[in-house]
Amino acid sequence: MKHIFLNLKRFDVPREMGGVNSLAAPEKWGAAVVEGIQGGLSAYAPEEVDFTVFFPEAHLLTAKAARIDGSRVTIGCQGIHGEDVAPGKNFGAFTTSCPAAAASALGCEEVIIGHCEERKKLAGIMAEAGVTDPAAVCRILNREVQAALARGMKVLYCVGESAEEKPRWQEVLKTQLELGLDGVDRSQVVIGYEPIWAIGPGKTPPGREPIQEIAQFIKETTGGMDIVYGGGLKTDNAEMLASIPEIDGGLIALTRFAGEIGFYPEEYLEIVKLYMGH
């Protein structure tokens, strides 16, 4: 079974405001994404591959409404709070936070947790309080994973090492995996590996051999969990990633990196076609 995830980050911001969105007006953007990809995804059998799109929270309702009967698009959100609504306890006092109950009520079946951008944000907040222990970030993320699973949502749990951590990547990834997955039902979780040191303009992405080595390490550490490449599944690496038996899919973000950069549904479908081989 393959897994292809799409993380739309904040690609909804219009170009005139400094963003990369020329697909649709913000109020129609979520629907435009779903409508632009779901027809093309119908060519793939459900037992062959699944497709999840992680939307910013504001677009969940329009994205869900755009799904047609039999749509292959699963709606996901970009993070949840580590505490959830509970009868007789906290019934919704979560200003600025999205509990798993709210995400589920809005139509989310999956959530991305531990993305390098989330880890960076959490580490920055704790650094202001004088806490610099990376394990603390993992423990917070573990509570988010637990909350999602308890609400019946599946999880894409991301791990990865920075340039400074690269010389001891095994130790870093093992800590993130063991602490982040502590006590969870791993059958409902997919691992996303992000080579943080290689993500961004002007940086050199890893080749086939290092990706395979790390994927083998993660599978050994987790007892064979599914793992997708989170460093960006794109047209120029799709066939290479598909050739790695330990890699079970990928995480797509932008589809165009030059000229009018941004996310384009037809280019997303081309990446899927290249990865799946048809």
Nearest alpha carbon to residue 77 among 118, 113, 120:
113
Catalytic residue among 81, 110, 115, 118: 115
Catalytic residue among 110, 118, 161, 194: 194
CA dihedral 121, 123, 129, 131 (to 10 degrees): 170
- Residue 194 is a catalytic residue: yes
Q: Are 227 and 191 in contact (CB under 8 A)?
A: yes
Active site residues: 115, 194
